[in-house]
Amino acid sequence: MDKTQEAEKKMFVGVDLGSRAIKIAAWQEGKMVDFKIRESGFEPHRQVQEMIKEYEPCSVVATGYGRHLVKEYFAYEVITEIKAHGLGVHAVLPEATTVVDIGGQDSKVISLDGRGQVVNFQMNDKCAAGTGRFLEIMAASLAYPLSEFGPAALESDQEVQINSMCTVFAESEVISLKNRGIPRQHIARAVQASVADRILSMLNRVGYGDTIAFSGGVANNPCIVEMVRRRLDNVQVIVPDNPSIIGALGASIQAGRAR
Amino acid sequence: MNTESFEIKAYPEMWKDLGMDVERFDKMRLMLGEIYCKTYLTQKNRPARMAYFDEMIAEIHGGRIKELLAAKAEGHPVIGTFCVYIPEEVVLAAGGICVGLCGGSQGSIPDAETILPRNICPMVKSAFGFKVGRVCPYMQVVDFVYGETTCDAKKKTWEILDTMVPTYVMEIPQMKKQSDREMWLHEVKEFKAKIEEVSGKEVTVEGLNEAVKVMNSKRRALQRLNTLRHTHPTPISGKDVLLVEQIAFYDEPVRFAAKVNDLCDELEKRIADGEAVPAKDAIRIMVAGVPMALPNWKLHHLVEGAGAVIVNEESCIGTRYYKDLMDEDGKDMETILADLTKRYMNIDCSCFTPNDERIDQVLKEFRESQADGIIHYSLQFCHTYNIEEIRIREACIKEGIPYMFIESDYSPEDVGQIQTRVEAFLEQIHG
């Protein structure tokens, strides 16, 4: 094996230590060869260490809320989730110039140039409005497992309005709608419509191209994706396979670049 | 100064005499000392002459208060201020002393919220809370507080504050028409009468010219510092310059100007030797927006912690305070006061409408500071800066300047999000 071939065989790992889950992507010979997702739990850096051991990576790049913690222990470099999602989306959907990424505790709209570089972005501030955490709490207050929350809402055809995006106030709204006897799938739909409206307002602030990639854990919710689609004319909204690992994928690509 | 030996000195007896809540204040003192060590004294390669400013922090609740009490005993009134519209020259000419009051701490906000509504500016709440909780020696020392009408939260808070400490309110116009300028000149004259009454000393032409010289020297020293930090690579951290700009509001002005000039001498030498802080290729950020009152170092700490350096503050605690000077040899009172009015009406606070001068000023400072991008910083509920941000953003887009807007308060809860946004902004600039 000559030197270039050896370099190509090298394994690069991206770690996305998010608020709710740890995502790992392994990158080799210019493609993703494996990935893992696990709940963050306690002492996440130890879990990460255990999760990546088998790859014997020659370089690790970390992203997500715990990126600096990972760096302290073993990462070569850190990049933000914003850059990571840009790189990840560009690798799997190069035609997308806009990324909607909604994770456990924040939501972002990222605008990319043709090379996948970030040219502009918007991110929520300290409040959890419209994030995965918001959906979790709303699903729980309507007694849905998270995985059924989206599909159930898709079955509703009735327009009910949730006005507040604040997790605390929206929960009181949900409770008062429940107590008016409104079926829960209608309320579920209203909650998800309010998240879609918020995504739209962020998209309008940043501006968007004709192909939008929807990444992050919330892209697994078919109702929100559908509602975002319905709110946009002549725009393709594409959810990549395994949308929650896009950040880790971007980090693994960066790991390959850095070395 | 090393981190182990630094502490903010305690003066419990003096604090007790000032009617303060000593036990609680002592805890705040320890916290401030800890934050200062973490934020400032861990910086590498600081200019040696920052030692004076470290000492000003160590003595912030003691040494400087003693000086103020001694001056008061000699008949010099002490005026607490919140805003760069205070005509300091007039106060100095009457033998008075201006001190900027504390308003940058989360610690006093719960005190304020026992009275004031929660949904108002954190700076107003913080300052008001220091009086409510009796946890600011400056607030206890002042003869009266100078308030103004630059925002609704302030002007209505003065009514409540006045029940606890005498509060004099000057009306600041909201437009810059001839009639507004005349109104402000009239306000300046009334203020002059007020300060003469409190100090028992008449403001004379000679006295006022002398005071103008003192203030000009102080502002010139700050201009010099700002010009030196604009050098590429910069010889001083943004955090350190912000600290000097903050201390400008409570130090004795003649001594302060001398110390800033001493620091500048050292910086000139550093520049000649090619000594840079932090790294020569660090991304340079200019901050524009609202004042960062002591000890609000949040944004600077995050930006510089991410490896960039702040090279300009377009802010009241920043260039807005020192960019304009006055004529030093006014012939008569009327001419000097007219010149003073003109100087203060050049301040481009967002309380004015229209305020196109500020947009030009931001772009000018961006070019002068050789920055790579602008972060507009606003406090929550500061409507005028938050809305004016739109025009600053539009101007930056038009000029192709990398730009980001951060709205925050003094609480630590959004540090994670702001850190991510700052780092992403730096990645965006870096390409």
User: Which sign, positive or negative, has the C-alpha torsion B20, B24, B30, B33?
Assistant: negative
Determine the pLDDT at residue B423.
97
Residue B150 in tokens = 């630059």
Measured between beta carbons, the chain A residues lying within 8 angstroms of B414 are 125-126
Establish whether the linkage from the previous residue to A145 is cis, with ω within 30° of 0: no
- Mean pLDDT calculated for residue range B406-427: 93
Task: Please tell me the least confidently modeled range out of A91-95, A149-153, A162-166, A250-254.
Answer: A162-166
Percent of chain A whose pLDDT exceeds 90: 73
pTM of the entire structure?
Answer: 0.93
Is pLDDT at B3 greater than 80 in this prediction? no
Tell me the Ramachandran region of residue A246: left when phi exceeds 0, alpha when psi lies from -120 to 50, beta otherwise. alpha
Q: Helix, strand or coil for residue B307?
A: coil
Give the nearest partner residue to B427 out of A79, A124, A125, using CB atoms. A79
Residue A157 in tokens = 């055809």
pLDDT in tens, B18-60: 999 999 999 999 999 999 999 999 999 999 999 999 999 999 9
The chain B residues in contact with chain A (CB within 8 A) are 407-408, 413-414, 416-417, 420-421, 423-424, 427-428, 431
A156: distance to nearest CA of chain B, Å? 35
Q: Identify each DSSP E strand in A143-201 by its residue range.
A: none
* pLDDT tier at A2, thresholds 50, 70, 90: low
Determine the pLDDT at residue A1.
47
Q: How far is CA B371 from the centre of its chain?
A: 21
Give the residue carrying structure tokens 């090393």: B2
Percent of chain A whose pLDDT exceeds 70: 96
Q: Which residues, in sequence order, are CB contacts of B67 under 8 Å at separation 6+?
A: B252
Give the residue carrying structure tokens 């939008």: A212
CATH number, domain containing residue A49: 3.30.420.40
Calpha distance B138→B251 (Å, rounded): 12
* Chain B touched by A190 (CB under 8 Å): no
Calpha distance A146→A132 (Å, rounded): 10
Give the nearest partner residue to B428 out of A106, A118, A126, using CB atoms. A118
Q: Are residues A108 and A86 both part of a single domain?
A: no
Determine the pLDDT at residue A7.
57
- Tallying the residues shown for chain B, one arrives at 431
| Residue of chain A with shortest Cα separation from B418 | A125
- Mean pLDDT calculated for residue range B206-221: 98
Give the nearest partner residue to A81 out of B407, B408, B420, using CB atoms. B420
A79: distance to nearest CA of chain B, Å? 8
The candidate with the shortest Cα–Cα distance to B98, out of B72, B84, B73, B80, is B80
- Mean pLDDT calculated for residue range A112-126: 88
- Mean pLDDT calculated for residue range B158-169: 97
State the best of A69, A110, A125, A166 to mutate against chain B, taking most chain B CBs within 10 Å: A125
Q: Are residues A227 and A250 both part of a single domain?
A: no
* Chain B touched by A154 (CB under 8 Å): no
| Cβ proximity of B307 and B282 under 8 Å | yes
State the best of A126, A127, A205, A254 to mutate against chain B, taking most chain B CBs within 10 Å: A126
* Chain B touched by A205 (CB under 8 Å): no
Structural domain including A109 reads 98-239
Q: Are residues A66 and A175 both part of a single domain?
A: no
- Mean pLDDT calculated for residue range A16-25: 93
- Mean pLDDT calculated for residue range B180-199: 97
Q: Are residues A133 and A58 both part of a single domain?
A: no
A114: distance to nearest CA of chain B, Å? 13
Q: Are residues A126 and A228 both part of a single domain?
A: yes
Calpha distance B111→B69 (Å, rounded): 26
Calpha distance A55→B107 (Å, rounded): 48
Does an H or E element contain B310, and which?
Answer: strand B309-314
Q: Are residues A77 and A145 both part of a single domain?
A: no
Is pLDDT at B4 greater than 70 in this prediction? no
Determine the pLDDT at residue B420.
94
Q: What is the mean pLDDT of chain B?
A: 96
Measured between beta carbons, the chain B residues lying within 8 angstroms of A120 are 428
B412: distance to nearest CA of chain A, Å? 10
Q: Helix, strand or coil for residue B279?
A: coil
Q: How far is CA A168 from the centre of its chain?
A: 23
Q: Phi and psi for B10 in degrees, rounded to 5?
A: -100, 140
Q: Helix, strand or coil for residue B271?
A: helix
| Residue of chain A with shortest Cα separation from B408 | A125
Contact B423 A80 (CB under 8 A): yes
| Cβ proximity of A247 and A77 under 8 Å | no
Amino acid at B223: Q
Residue B364 in tokens = 């000018």
pLDDT in tens, B322-375: 999 999 999 999 999 999 999 999 999 999 999 999 999 999 999 999 999 999
Measured between beta carbons, the chain A residues lying within 8 angstroms of B423 are 78, 80
Contact B428 A79 (CB under 8 A): no
pLDDT in tens, B256-288: 999 999 999 999 999 999 988 878 899 999 999
Amino acid at B374: I
Q: Are residues A251 and A233 both part of a single domain?
A: no
Calpha distance A244→A16 (Å, rounded): 9
The candidate with the shortest Cα–Cα distance to B106, out of B28, B190, B167, is B28
Residue B223 in tokens = 């201009």
* Chain B touched by A119 (CB under 8 Å): yes
* Chain B touched by A211 (CB under 8 Å): no
Determine the pLDDT at residue B276.
85
Does an H or E element contain A132, and which?
Answer: helix A132-141
Give the nearest partner residue to B420 out of A118, A120, A123, using CB atoms. A123
Contact B408 A125 (CB under 8 A): yes
Amino acid at A38: R
Instruction: Give the pairing of strands A98-102 and A107-112.
Output: antiparallel
State the virtual CA torsion across B24, B28, B33, B35 in degrees, nearest 10.
150
Q: What is the mean pLDDT of chain A?
A: 91
Q: Are residues A88 and A116 both part of a single domain?
A: no
Contact A123 B413 (CB under 8 A): no
A:B CB pairs within 8 Å: 38
Helix B238-247 and helix B298-305, axial crossing angle in degrees, nearest 10: 160
Residue B75 in tokens = 């008949």
Contact B427 A123 (CB under 8 A): no
Residue A172 in tokens = 């009181």
Calpha distance B350→B378 (Å, rounded): 11
- Mean pLDDT calculated for residue range B217-241: 97
- For Cα atoms A7, A10, A15, give the angle at the middle one, nearest 5 degrees: 135
Q: Are residues A78 and A146 both part of a single domain?
A: no
Determine the pLDDT at residue B2.
56
Give the nearest partner residue to A80 out of B413, B414, B427, using CB atoms. B427
* Chain B touched by A115 (CB under 8 Å): no
Which of A17-21, A177-181, B198-202 has the largest mean confidence? B198-202
Determine the pLDDT at residue A3.
55
Which of A137-146, A170-179, A250-259, B208-217 has the largest mean confidence? B208-217
Q: Are residues A182 and A84 both part of a single domain?
A: no
Amino acid at B13: E
Residue B47 in tokens = 């200019």
Determine the pLDDT at residue A41.
83
Q: Are residues A64 and A176 both part of a single domain?
A: no
pLDDT in tens, B107-152: 999 999 999 999 999 999 999 999 999 999 999 999 999 999 999 9
Report how many domains make up chain A: 2
Interface confidence, given as ipTM, is 0.89
Q: Which residues, in sequence order, are CB contacts of B384 under 8 Å at separation 6+?
A: B151, B349, B350, B351
Is pLDDT at A123 greater than 60 in this prediction? yes
Helix B253-273 and helix B51-58, axial crossing angle in degrees, nearest 10: 140
* pLDDT tier at A193, thresholds 50, 70, 90: very high
- Mean pLDDT calculated for residue range A62-74: 90
